Chains A and B, each alone.
Chain A
Amino acid sequence: EVQLVESGGGLIQPGGSLRLSCAVSGFTFNNHWMHWVRQAPGKGLVWVSRIDSGGGSTSYADSVKGRFTISRDNAKNRLYLQMTSLRAEDTAIYYCARDSGPGGAYYFDQWGQGTLVTVSS
């Protein structure tokens, strides 16, 4: 059974930092690109970042570029999102999501349950 389990969310003050983690199981992690997608409370879905299967190539939405860093540890089957200089508008549920294609198709066939990040003083 494919499982993606996010952790690391919580309440953080503006300007603070947080690292999210996604533990995966049930599939060959290093065969898939991975993504982070977020959803502000009561709002729609927004793609945040992706990383290729080897970890050598990344890309980001303009809204987080320079502040967020995606990474992965294929030996530990874990995906990460390091978030710095957090703003109120970063408040959202953060989902890790598996890319459907082996070479990066940019649509998402498996999702975690999400972890809530709240940026507030």
Chain B
Amino acid sequence: DIVMTQSPDSLAVSLGERATINCKSSQSVLHRSNNQNYLAWYQQKPGQPPELLISWASTRESGVPDRFSGSGSGTNFTLTLSSLQAEDVAVYYCQQYYIAPTFGQGTRLEIK
């Protein structure tokens, strides 16, 4: 299994400030055949199912605000919220799909 480790476990950021969540995989999720990173990010608000934000490490899903961005390659990835809004309070998960899917433990994002 590929182990996904997120940091930090929780994060408090002021409204309008930047939030950065890191995700590290125990082995590379970059597929050399197509040069794609098999990495997705999800947002889960309380009492709701997860929602896909980003796939292929940096491709934002339709309808996702452009303040969300994904970056990284190989084993190190980052989800960045450029300007925190109140509705962004949630738990964020990374997930690899290079092999049988595994998720990070989640990062809880709160308002400072």
Chain A residues at the B interface, C-beta cutoff of 8 Å: 35, 44-47, 59, 61, 95, 100, 105-109, 111-114
Contacts and interface: CB of A to CB of B under 8 A. Distances in A.
Contacts of A35: 101
B51 A111 contact: yes
11 contacts: A44-B103, A44-B104, A45-B93, A47-B100, A105-B97, A107-B38, A107-B40, A107-B52, A108-B40, A111-B49, A114-B49
A87 B106 CA distance: 24
Contacts, number: 51
A47 B101 contact: yes
A88 B105 CA distance: 21
Interface of B: 38, 40, 42, 44, 48-52, 55, 61, 93, 95, 97, 100-106
Contact of B50 (A100, A106, A108): A108
